Amino acid sequence: MTRRLVVPKMAALLAVSLLWMAGGAWAAQPFTFDDGARYKAEVDATSSQTIPPGTQITTANWKQYQGFLPVGVQALFSGQYGFKIGDGPDFAMVVGPTLPTPLPKEVMANSEKYGHQARLVKLPSGGYGIEGYVAGVPFVNPAEPNLGTKIMYNLWYDFWPFLISYHSHFFIEDRYGNTTPEESIATTWQLMHLSDSPYPVDLPYANGFYHSTRDLLLLPEQSKYTTALDMQPDNPSTVQETYVFLPSLRRPLRLSSAARCSPILGTDWAQDDNSGGIAFQVGLFNARYLGEKKVLAIVHADIAAGTGSRDNLEKVLHTGLPVPGWPRPAMGKWEVRDAYIIDVQPIHKDYCYAHKIFYVDKQNWTTLYYETYDRQGKLWKVNKNSLGPVQLNNGETAVVSAATEDAIWDLQNTHSSVSTVGTVPAVDKDAPTELQDAQTFAFPGGLSRIMR
């Protein structure tokens, strides 16, 4: 049941005044990590403060609601970067009621059945591994000690069906407004820890791989059929295996697994940004809990109405919006969501970033946002997800990290990439028949069948 908290009139005015003063102070400061002070200052989930449905947040009043905005969105409103939230109606954040997004019943049943078995184990790297995990949510009610790490593993093992496939429209835009549109067929197979009957918990041919993601390019024409395949081992301390099929050679090549910070198909996403941003070697990172906060996010997106169709995407490309991929009001209402915030830090300090901050939806365990800071602690990239519920084969609907309008903004270089679902995601038996043969197509051998 959704609860709506209402602030008494005088208390609300005081809270708004305090938020406005805090907003003015913060806006004058550079967006550096500063030990997570901005995140700790956001509105606590236990607070009685809320935003009434129907409220519209714009450049004129955003400081009143700053405590509900992710830090990266605050940066877009601040005017300190090349990407700036505009004044027009396309940028209004229209707040709606907070609606439930429960996990599928089988996930909850497996969480109850196996939830007591998962435990963290200290690794020689200084990070933590996990033992005893079977299916469902590993840590149903995470608590200290190591709360941040438990949340990180709940995010690592968030819900995916056995198979989900869809057309993805995306584009890359540079600081001069030049855009490069692309289109692909994106497919993800989950091979282990399934909560998706009639499939077994672990598929017999998984061979130690948790899941596999494939992107087959359709546009631009000169790159057609170029295909990237990323295979995530179940061992979170083992690096992904990455392959690419090159049409010019008509064969797949295995790429260096060390290039975790290299871009995916020329976009602003790096290899460890796959799977909702958490495709890195979890055992080589530590996660610090920064708080449980109220955060505005879109989790009931009508992606087709927002930017999902090719026609709509072309409109986004040519309207000159100062923040490419910012969700239009047609995308859906913004909801006040309870979210865990964790600071994920690489143990080895020579990594490409020093902090990766995740906003994790408390109810469905998906990534709402993540933000990265460079090695000097300066805000670098902001990734926003607009999530749309997906219909499963059993009739339930669930939030899945794949079904998103996903935008990443490189604030330091004024460069962005936007990806959106162009078709209704096909799940399990509704997907193309050949893709249901995961034993072939979720592995490198399937790449040799492209262009046949």
The pLDDT tens digits of the residues spanning 108-144 come to: 999 999 989 999 999 999 999 999 999 999 999 999 9
Q: What are phi and psi of 268, to 5 degrees?
A: -85, -5
What pLDDT does 314 receive? 57
pLDDT at 240: 85
Q: What is the pLDDT of residue 311?
A: 58
How far is it, in rounded angstroms, from Cα 177 to Cα 324?
Answer: 9
Q: Which amino acid is at 83?
A: F
Residue ranges in the chain whose pLDDT is less than 70: 1-29, 257-259, 304, 306-321
Q: Cα separations (Å) of 378 from 26, 32, 385? A: 15, 4, 22
- What pLDDT, on a 0 to 100 scale, did the predictor assign at position 402? 74
Percent of the chain topping pLDDT 90 = 67
- Greatest alpha-carbon pair distance for the chain in Å reads 70
Contact 143, 167 (CB under 8 A): no
**Whose CA is closest to 388, among 316, 295, 315, 304?**
304
Q: What is the mean pLDDT of the chain?
A: 88
**H-type alpha helices, 80-187:** 105-114, 147-156
pTM of this prediction exceeds 0.85: yes
CA-to-CA distance for 116 and 343, rounded, in angstroms?
Answer: 25
Closest alpha carbon to 178 in 308, 320, 47: 320
Question: Would you state the pLDDT for residue 169?
Answer: 84
* Interatomic CA distance for residues 373 and 382, integer angstroms: 9
Residue type for position 399? V
Give the C-alpha separation, 365 to 106, whole Å.
15
Contact 244, 226 (CB under 8 A): yes
Please measure the distance between the N-terminal and C-terminal CA atoms of the chain and give it in whole angstroms: 51
